[in-house]
A and B are shown apart, each in its own frame.
Chain A
Amino acid sequence: MSWRIFEYLERGDQSTIGVWLVEKDITERDRGQLVQKMDLLAMHGPNLPPGLLAGPIKSKRNRKMQSHIYKFIIHGDKMLRPMLCKGPIEMESEYTMLIGAIEVNFKLDVDAEDAEIRRAEIIENPNRRRINGRYK
Chain B
Amino acid sequence: MAAISEALRHDLQQPEFSEGYAESFLDTFIATQLKVLREQNGWSQTQLAEKMGKKQTVISRSENVNYSSWNISTLKQYARAFRLRLRVSFETYGSLIDEVANFSKENLQRSPRECDHDLAGTPPKAEKKEPVEKPSLGQLAPGPMPASATQGTANVQDQRPSYRARLLQFDRRKKPLRSSVSDLLRGQYQEAS
A29 within 8 A of partner (CB): yes
B3 within 8 A of partner (CB): yes
B19 within 8 A of partner (CB): yes
Interface SS of chain A: helix
Please count the residue pairs between chain A and chain B whose beta carbons lie under 8 angstroms apart in the complex.
87
A64 within 8 A of partner (CB): no
Q: Which of B1-47 contact A (CB under 8 A)?
A: 1, 3-4, 7-8, 11, 14-25, 28, 31-32, 35
| Complex-state Cα separation, A74 to B66, whole angstroms | 7
Contact B20 A29 (CB under 8 A): yes
Contact B20 A134 (CB under 8 A): no
How big is the A interface, by class? 20 to 34
Contact A135 B32 (CB under 8 A): no
5 closest pairs, A vs B, by CB?
A: A32-B20, A51-B64, A28-B16, A32-B21, A29-B20
| Complex-state Cα separation, A27 to B100, whole angstroms | 22
| Complex-state Cα separation, A54 to B67, whole angstroms | 13
User: A28-65 CB contact bits vs B (8 Å, 1 = yes)?
Assistant: 11111101110110111000111110100000000000
Known: A49-B32, A50-B32. A134 touches B17 (CB 8 A): no
A24 within 8 A of partner (CB): no
Query: Which residues in A have their C-beta under 8 angstroms from that of B19?
Result: 29, 32
Residue with the greatest number of chain A CB neighbours at <10 A, chosen from B15, B25, B65, B67: B65
User: A121-136 CB contact bits vs B (8 Å, 1 = yes)?
Assistant: 0000000000001111
Residues of B within 8 A of A (CB): 1, 3-4, 7-8, 11, 14-25, 28, 31-32, 35, 63-68, 100, 103-105
Contact A134 B16 (CB under 8 A): no
Partner of B17, one of A28, A43, A52, A73: A28
Contact B100 A73 (CB under 8 A): no
| Complex-state Cα separation, A6 to B66, whole angstroms | 23
Known: A28-B17, A43-B4. A37 touches B24 (CB 8 A): yes
| Complex-state Cα separation, A42 to B3, whole angstroms | 11
Contact A51 B103 (CB under 8 A): no
Q: How far is the CB of B104 from chain A (nearest CB, A)?
A: 8
